[in-house]
Amino acid sequence: MNLYRIDNLINAYLDARSVIVDSGYATEMDWQENVSFDKLDESTFLREISWVILSAGMKETVIRKKFIELTSVFCNWRSSEEILRNYKARLNKALRIFNHLQKISAIISVAKKVKKEGFGEIKRRIEKDKIEYLISFDYIGPVTAYHLAKNIGLNVAKPDRHLMRITQALKFENTTDLCNTISHFTGDKVSVVDLVLWRYATINKNYLNDFNSLVAT
C-alpha cells in the first residue's frame, strides 16, 4: 500500500474511531488502552478467560445477558479455590443459565489448572510463551487465544472474521500487519486499533465497502 493509500487508511480509521465514540463505546476504548498485564491478578484472569470461552462462536450481546448470572454462580471470579468448592453443584446451576456443557466444563477446568499450578506460575508462563501457552487451556483456540491475550493486557491483534475481511480487502498480509501499521501512524495501541476496527464492523454492516474503497483510490 503506497503512502497515499496509507493516508486514506489512517483517515478511514480515525473516522471509524469517531463513530465508535459517538456511538457510546468510548469506555471500551479507554478500558483497552488501560488494561495492563502487569496488574493481572487471579480474579481478573478467571473472569476474562471465562468471558472468552463463553463468547466463542457467539454474539457478544447474547453472552453479556448471561454473564452477570454466571458471575454470581462462579463466586464473582474471586479465586479458583472458591469456584472449585462444591463445583459440581456450580456446574449444574450454571448449565441452567447457559446450557453448554463443554464451555461450562472448560471454566471448571481452568479453575482446576490455576489452583494446581498456582496463578503466579500461570502468569509467568503467559508472559514467556503468550499465545502458545494460552491455547493449552480448554476451549481456547488459535483465534480465541488472541481475544484472551488482548483482554488480559497483551498488545496484540486478533484474527477474527471481521478483521480478516478488512485485512484481505486492504491486501495486508495479516491482521497484525494491518493493526501495527495503523498503530505506527496514530500512536494507538495495537489492541486498541483491533478494538476500533472490530467494534466498527459490528455497528456498520457496510464496513467492508468503506475499506474496499481505499484500495480503489
SS (HEC) of the chain: CCHHHHHHHHHHHHHHHHHHHHCCCHHHHHHHHHCCHHHCCHHHHHHHHHHHHHHCCCCHHHHHHHHHHHHHHCHHHCCHHHHHCCHHHHHHHHHHHCCCHHHHHHHHHHHHHHHHHCHHHHHHHHHHHCHHHHCCCCCCCCCHHHHHHHHCCCCCCCCCHHHHHHHHHCCCCCHHHHHHHHHHHHCCCHHHHHHHHHHHHHHCCCHHHHHHHHHHC
Is the same domain home to 128 and 66?
A: yes
- Whether residue 142 sits in one domain with residue 43: yes
CB atoms within 10 A of CB 59: 9
Counted domains in the chain: 2
| Side chain identity at residue 124, one-letter code | R
- My answer on whether 46 and 25 are in the same domain is no
pTM greater than 0.75: yes
Residues 104 and 206 in one domain: no
Reply yes or no on whether the pLDDT at 213 is more than 80: no
Same domain flag for 89 and 61 = yes
Residues 129 and 202 in one domain: no
> At residue 106, what is the residue type?
A
For residue 217, pLDDT beyond 60 = no
- 122 and 110 in contact (C-beta within 8 Å)? no
Residues 6+ apart with CB under 8 A from 86: none
80 and 144 together in one domain: yes
Q: Is the pLDDT of residue 3 over 70?
A: no
Structural domain boundaries enclosing 89: 39-151
Q: Looking at the structure, do residues 71 and 144 belong to the same domain, yes or no?
A: yes
Where is the domain boundary, 127, 151, 175?
Answer: 151
Instruction: In whole angstroms, give the CA distance from residue 154 to residue 209.
Output: 30
Q: Is there a single domain that holds both residue 72 and residue 162? A: no
Confidence grade of residue 135 (pLDDT, cut at 50, 70, 90) = very high
Per-residue pLDDT tens digits for 156-189: 999 999 999 999 999 999 999 999 999 999 999 9
| Residue 137 and residue 55 in one domain | yes
